[in-house]
Amino acid sequence: MRVAVVGANGKIGQQLVELLKNDAEHEAVALVRKEAQQKQWQEQDVEARLADLEGTVAQLADALAGVDAVAFTAGSGGNSGDDKTLLVDLDGAIKTMEAAQAQGIKRFVMLSAWQANNRENWADELKPYYAAKHYADRELMRSELDWTIVRPGALTDDNGTGRVDIGEHLPPGKIPREDVAHVLMGCLTTDDMIGKAFDVMSAD
Amino acid sequence: MRVAVVGANGKIGQQLVELLKNDAEHEAVALVRKEAQQKQWQEQDVEARLADLEGTVAQLADALAGVDAVAFTAGSGGNSGDDKTLLVDLDGAIKTMEAAQAQGIKRFVMLSAWQANNRENWADELKPYYAAKHYADRELMRSELDWTIVRPGALTDDNGTGRVDIGEHLPPGKIPREDVAHVLMGCLTTDDMIGKAFDVMSAD
Chain B nearest C-alpha distance from A184 (Å): 27
Q: Are the beta carbons of B81 and A86 separated by less than 8 Å?
A: no
Tally the domains of chain B.
1
Read off the pTM.
Answer: 0.96
**Residues of A engaging B, defined by a Cβ cutoff of 8 Å:** 56-57, 81-83, 85-87, 90-91, 94-95, 119-120, 127-128, 131-132, 134-135, 138-139, 142
Task: Decide: A91 and A139 in contact? Cβ < 8 Å.
Answer: no
| Number of inter-chain CB pairs under 8 A, A vs B | 66
User: What is the pLDDT, as a whole number, of residue B27?
Assistant: 97
At residue B77, the pLDDT reads 83
Q: How far apart are CA A137 and CA A112, in angstroms?
A: 8
Give the other-Cβ count within 10 Å of A200's Cβ: 23
Task: Encode pLDDT of A120-167 as tens digits.
Answer: 999 999 999 999 999 999 999 999 999 999 999 999 999 999 999 999
**Closest to B172 (Cα-Cα) out of B120, B129, B132, B133:** B120
Q: Is the model's pLDDT at A108 over the cut of 80?
A: yes
**How far A76 CA sits from the closest chain B CA (Å)?**
13
Residues of B with CB under 8 A from a CB of A: 56-57, 81-83, 85-87, 90-91, 94-95, 119-120, 127-128, 131-132, 134-135, 138-139, 142
Per-residue pLDDT, averaged over A173-184, amounts to 98
Catalytic residues of B: 129
Asked whether A161 and A176 are in contact (CB, 8 A), the reply is: yes
Q: Pick from A76, A86, A88, A137 the residue to mutate for testing the B interface (most B CBs within 10 Å).
A: A86
Q: Is the separation of the CB atoms in A29 and A48 below 8 Å?
A: yes
| Type of residue numbered A191 | D
8 Å CB contact of A81 and B86: no
**ipTM metric:** 0.94
Q: Answer whether B128 sits within 8 Å of A94, measured CB to CB.
A: no
B141 chain-A contacts, CB cut-off 8 A:
none
Q: Which residue of B has its CA nearest to A82?
A: B82
Give the domain range for residue A87: 2-202
Neighbours of A192 (CB within 10 A): 9
Question: Exposed, middle or buried: residue A54 (CB in 10 Å: 0-12, 13-18, 19+)?
Answer: middle
* Cα dihedral sign, B191-B192-B194-B198: negative
**Set of chain B residues whose Cβ sits within 8 Å of the Cβ of A82:** 81-83, 85-86, 128
Query: At a CB cut-off of 8 Å and minimum separation 6, what does B56 contact?
Result: A119, A120, B95
Position B79 scores a pLDDT of: 84
| Residue B142 CB contacts under 8 Å (≥ 6 apart), including other chains | A142
Show residues of chain A in contact with B83, CB under 8 Å: 82, 127-128
Residue B73's pLDDT is 98
The better pLDDT of the pair A182, B80 is held by: A182
**pLDDT > 90 fraction of chain A, expressed in percent and rounded:** 98
Q: What is the pLDDT of residue B36?
A: 98
- pLDDT at position B119, please? 97
* pLDDT score recorded for residue B78: 77
Q: For residue A49, is pLDDT > 90?
A: yes
Chain A CA closest to residue B121: A56
The model's confidence at residue A37, banded by pLDDT at 50, 70 and 90, is very high
Read off the pLDDT of residues A93-102 as tens digits, 9 standing for 90 and up: 999 999 999 9
Q: Are B202 and B161 in contact (CB under 8 A)?
A: yes
Q: What is the CATH number of the domain that holds B125?
A: 3.40.50.720
pLDDT at A77: 83
Provide, as residue numbers in chain A, all residues whose Cβ is less than 8 Å from the Cβ of B86: 82, 85-86, 90, 127-128, 131-132
Which residue from B86, B119, B127 is facing A132, i.e. has the nearest CB?
Answer: B86
The tens place of each residue's pLDDT in chain B, 204 residues long, gives 999 999 999 999 999 999 999 999 999 999 999 999 999 999 999 999 999 999 999 999 999 999 999 999 999 987 889 999 999 999 999 999 999 999 999 999 999 999 999 999 999 999 999 999 999 999 999 999 999 999 999 999 999 999 999 999 999 999 999 999 999 999 999 999 999 999 999 998
Query: Mapping DSSP to helix (H, G, I), strand (E, B) and coil, where does residue A196 land?
Result: strand
Closest C-alpha to A151, from A124, A128, A122: A122
What is the pLDDT confidence band of residue A204, given thresholds at 50, 70 and 90?
A: confident
Query: Pick from B56, B57, B90: which is nearest to A135 by CB?
Result: B90
Beta carbons within 10 angstroms of residue B155's beta carbon: 17
